[in-house]
Amino acid sequence: MAGLVFWITGLSGAGKTTVGKLLYERIREKKENVVLLDGDALRNSIAMDLGYTNEDRHQSAVRNIRLCKLLADQGIDVICCTICMFEDIRQWSRKNNKKYIEVYLKVPMETLRSRNQKNLYEEAQDEVVGIGVGMEEPQSPDMVVINDGTKTPKSIVEDILKLAERVNA
């Protein structure tokens, strides 16, 4: 039985890792075969040889999604938190994973700038996805969350879990 792939995407500072960690904890309460893959950790482990050109970013995304599929095909639920700038990657994942949930954490730029995690929105803006580097906005996510602080991460996770129940039914 295939595992479920949770593809949590959005710009830097959108809350992907926070939501992903909480989702992991909730799923882990009921089953052991779940893994959390975070974009920064993936880059440091399977994409260290790549730079930040569009081609390198695309290759990194290919590695990420193929790893997700490899794990899901073994019955492991995978939570992947990554910017993923490319619609073709998301479409490939939807087509090639039997169980796939795409969550887009959409955050107004003013909110991202005020959060300013990692100082990305102050430094080297020409290299920041969403400012100097374009991002293809998700065209058909299963869930869009305007993550401007009006919803708690826990409530977002509850909404994702409700969606997962329907996908697993």
Give the predicted TM-score (pTM) of the model.
Answer: 0.88
Residue 121: CB atoms within 10 Å: 20
Q: Which domains does the chain have, with CATH numbers?
A: 5-168 (3.40.50.300)
pLDDT of 130 reads 47
User: Is residue 122's pLDDT more than 70?
Assistant: no
Structure tokens at 90: 């998301």
- What's the whole-number mean pLDDT along residues 118-131? 54
Mean pLDDT of the chain: 87
Give the position of tokens 């994942």: 93
| Three-class secondary structure of residue 16 per DSSP | helix
Share of the chain above pLDDT 70, in %: 87
Contacts of 79 by beta carbon, 8 Å cutoff, 6+ apart: 6, 8, 20, 23, 24, 27, 34, 35, 36, 37
Nearest to 77, CA basis, from 39, 26, 116, 16: 26
Q: How many CA atoms lie within 13 A of 159 on its CB side?
A: 17
Structure tokens at 34: 């779940």
List, for residues 24-71, the tens digit of each pLDDT value: 999 999 999 999 999 889 989 988 899 888 899 899 999 999 999 999
- What's the whole-number mean pLDDT along residues 154-162? 96
- What's the whole-number mean pLDDT along residues 111-121? 64
Nearest to 18, CA basis, from 132, 154, 142, 151: 154
- What's the whole-number mean pLDDT along residues 135-151? 88
